[in-house]
Amino acid sequence: MISFTLNGKTVHAEQDETLFDIAQREGLSLPHLCSGYHTHNKADGNCRLCVVEVEGERTLSASCKRTVHDGMKVHTHSERVTKSRKMIMELLLADHPEHNQSPDPNAHFWQMADEVGIQTSRFSPRPTLEPDFTHPALAVNLNACIQCTNCIRACQDLQSNDVLGMFGRGARSTIAFDQNDPVFDSTCVACGECIQSCPTGALLPRDPQTGDAVTASNSLKRVDSLCPFCGVGC
């Protein structure tokens, strides 16, 4: 067992536990997008929204990847952390349409924006991309993609489909189905695992009757179930 302080409180934890998990156990809410949203996905540490400050360290750490050691002093909501999170959220918002144009205004992404207290960005958006509605089961709007890569890890690690990956470079890089093919022409089997793991609404299911994208606000309400989240979409 390891002993360290979290916001001044002494906490005990296993050596391989992450600060994100420990903070949650201690009842602290840390904003997050690329980990902890789809609980079956492995942490990736790429959105940086969950950063925390470890006393004596020059850089902030992504809590979803950072494990603990004896005697460390961690701050989850210091002034430095709060300021950095706001900047990170602003950069992420530049990769997303404004709230009233968002494919899913109730998405986890906007809940995190609320939590951080930033709703708009002063930074220029990326080049606009055409939404892909070629597949009857999937609505793809990469203008709302923040490249958290949850969908890629879901496709590869959870379903072993390996359809999704990154395509292009720099500001023009996107997630892509196979060789950046339209979804309908790709080897995607529409299992739905990527949709489950997308925190922004860039990937949404489509209503089989109307063809409309189904968002958190217009979908059926959540119920308790024994479903293991295979993502088949029943």
Judged by the rule CB under 6 A, the positions of this chain that interact with ligand FES are 32-36, 45-50, 62, 64
Nearest distance from C-beta of residue 128 to ligand FES, angstroms: 25
Residue among 7 and 219 whose Cβ is closer to ligand FES: 7
Nearest distance from C-beta of residue 23 to ligand FES, angstroms: 11
Residue among 72 and 191 whose Cβ is closer to ligand FES: 72
Nearest distance from C-beta of residue 233 to ligand FES, angstroms: 25
The pair of three-digit structure tokens given for residue 210, joined into one six-digit string: 């109307």
**CA-CA distances (angstroms) from residue 197 to 22, 36, 67, 107, 231?**
22, 10, 24, 11, 9
Residue with tokens 């892909």: 132
E strand spans, the chain: 2-6, 9-13, 51-54, 61-62, 73-75, 138-140, 164-167, 174-177, 203-205
Q: Is the dihedral of CA 173, 154, 199, 88 positive or negative?
A: negative
Nearest distance from C-beta of residue 109 to ligand FES, angstroms: 12
8 Å CB contact between 138 and 191: no
60/71 Cα distance (integer angstroms): 17
163/176 Cα distance (integer angstroms): 8
Residue among 44 and 207 whose Cβ is closer to ligand FES: 44
Contact residues for 135 (Cβ-Cβ < 8 A; gap 6+) = 182, 183, 184, 188, 190, 206
Nearest distance from C-beta of residue 25 to ligand FES, angstroms: 16
Nearest distance from C-beta of residue 157 to ligand FES, angstroms: 16
Residue among 116 and 190 whose Cβ is closer to ligand FES: 116
Residue among 31 and 231 whose Cβ is closer to ligand FES: 31
Nearest distance from C-beta of residue 187 to ligand FES, angstroms: 28
Residue among 50 and 139 whose Cβ is closer to ligand FES: 50
Contact residues for 233 (Cβ-Cβ < 8 A; gap 6+) = 137, 190, 191, 192, 195, 205
Q: Which of 18, 17, 16, 40 is nearest to 30 (CA)?
A: 18
Residue among 74 and 191 whose Cβ is closer to ligand FES: 74
